[in-house]
Chain A
Amino acid sequence: MTASEKYVAAAYAFVFVVVLLYVLIIATKLARLEREVAELTELARERRVAEPERKAVAVG
């Protein structure tokens, strides 16, 4: 491999690695958002279960 080939490969590899790193960061963020959605869904479900009880107290 000549010096030119090494430098060209390094330049292209750097771009590839940065894009890959970006995708990795986005994937981590997506996993966090997925966890948050699951937490909020659970919270909303708990509130819906508790809702009829509150209504009953208000009417009585």
Chain B
Amino acid sequence: MTRALRQQRLPILAVVACALMAAAIASIAYVAPVDANQGLSQKIFYFHVPIALTAYAFFAWGAWKALRVLWKRDEAADLESYVAIHQGVIFGVLTLVTGSIWAKISWGVWWAWSSNQLVLFLVLFLFYAAYFMLRYSVDPGPQRANLCAVYALFGVALIPVSFLAIRLANDFIHPTVFTSNGPQMSGRMFFAFCLSWAAMLALAASLYHVELAGKRLDSRLRELREVLAR
């Protein structure tokens, strides 16, 4: 039963992601009230923030797998770290674009260089975008795995900096929703946000496992081709 469930993990995850996404969109449209200050444009928050948090989660997961590469000499963790960072970069693009659209309607500009939160997220994104340049400039093998793991671990230090910068530097442009007093929103808004975040995490987990399965299959086929060519 457990083995059958494990084999069916990806389709189950995809179905859960679809169901949660539908529920999240319905709750954003019908449950969450229209914000008194920002109006309808605040609805971007329900996708923008979960996407950003998912990007952070992917970078942290990539760093955890990188740590396993260095600590346990786990060869499979190198591929898992790479896929996590790849997904993190995709979610990073989504964060930057949805944030930019929200900035345009709220602040009248696409980007504000004076906001520490925005600039630090861009730095984090560019740091991880450069990871691929490093990875593809070194031949596959233990040396590449070690270099990439060290780089991924350095990057994870930027996550708390990016997350806390807004709180430490009194960033007045970018809103702070989660403070030490809890979430600064109504119960229905918080419910819609939590549902959106759960949906985004389920979608992210599905995409992660699909990409990982594809990469593993690719690698095994390459091995098989080499064996058959002998």
Contacts and interface: CB of A to CB of B under 8 A. Distances in A.
Given A22-B90, A40-B228, A11 B101 contact: yes
Contacts of B211: 26
Given A8-B44, A12-B47, A33-B221, A44 B207 contact: no
Given A26-B214, A30-B214, A40-B224, A11 B47 contact: yes
Interface residues of B, number: 28
Interface string B195-230: 000000001000100110010011001001100100
Contacts of A29: 214, 218
A33 B221 CA distance: 8
A47 B230 CA distance: 11
Interface in B71-130: 90, 93-94, 97-98, 101-102, 104-105
For the residues of A in contact with B, the DSSP-based class is helix
B226 to A, nearest CB: 11
A46 to B, nearest CB: 9
Most buried by B among A15, A19, A29: A15
* CB-based closest 10 A-B pairs: A4-B40, A7-B105, A11-B101, A4-B41, A11-B98, A11-B44, A43-B228, A8-B43, A36-B221, A4-B39
